[in-house]
Homo-oligomer: A and B are copies of this chain.
Amino acid sequence: MHDGPDRSPPIRIAIRDLASDVASAIIRDLIASGRVAPGQLLPGEAALASRYAVSRGTLRAALRTLQDAQLVSVRNGVGAVVLPRPSTVTEGLDQLCSLETYTRDTGASIATADLTWTQEPADDEAARQLQVEPGALLSVAHRVKLIDGARAGWGIERTPADLVPFEALQAEYAGSIMDVLLARPELGITHADAEIAAVPLPAGIARRLGVRAGRPAQYLEQVMLLGDGRPAQWGRAWLLPEHFRFRIRRRTPLA
């Protein structure tokens, strides 16, 4: 399954195990190509394992990623049914993308105001979240988010300074450090863990947004993780609920 000489990688490439390769191959050969139409069954596990020259265990791992991506539905005693593509593209908070991308996809206009760049040493909390030494240099950006011209939220993002050069970060920035990191596949970013809470809007942020302090705000905090599990970005945002509503698709575990 491994094709091509992969003998000397000096740079850490995104983790691609055999199962991921097989999953991509199945998508390419059978699903995206339309050879197996929605509603039809994929070949059996044994046949697929033989076709791609992997063990059944590896093949099943590949099938599981297709299930997680809602591309197929596997039923015991039956097989793997190719699912229809949803007609409307609906993204929710369970998909990893920036607030900027998320909002733009909903058709609203989003922009940035009061953008500030700094480089500063990590305080204790930042060091804990990003798993770096206290005092390690971080690149920091904070800004007001405008929705259709209205001041709708404020957010701050931090990333270790040695991950992406400060100048490159600013050059490639288009409203979110997250997007810059996601656009670099060599970082191997697979997921982020977000936490949400309803909080009273802090006074300092209320002033920046021109609204009164203490009113309910949606707090959103997240740590984006590299393929090896190390944190790459720590972001916090306070959002006015009249401008932001989030949808989450909740799936049954143990598919």
Residues of chain A from 65 to 101 with CB closer than 8 A to chain B in the complex: 65-66, 68-69, 71, 73, 75-76, 90-97
Q: How many copies does the complex hold?
A: 2
Interface of A is mostly: mixed
| Contact, CB under 8 Å: A96 / B250 | yes
| Contact, CB under 8 Å: A248 / B248 | yes
| Contact, CB under 8 Å: A195 / B247 | yes
Which residue of B is nearest A193, CB measured?
B249
CA distance A23 to B20 in the complex (A): 26
B-contact bits for A194-235, CB 8 A (1 contact / 0 none):
111111100000000000000111110010000011000000
- 17 contacting pairs across A/B (C-beta < 8 A): A68-B251, A73-B229, A92-B193, A95-B251, A96-B251, A96-B253, A97-B253, A189-B252, A191-B250, A191-B252, A194-B249, A197-B241, A197-B245, A198-B199, A198-B219, A200-B216, A216-B217
- B75, B94, B217, B245: the one within 8 Å of A250 (CB): B94
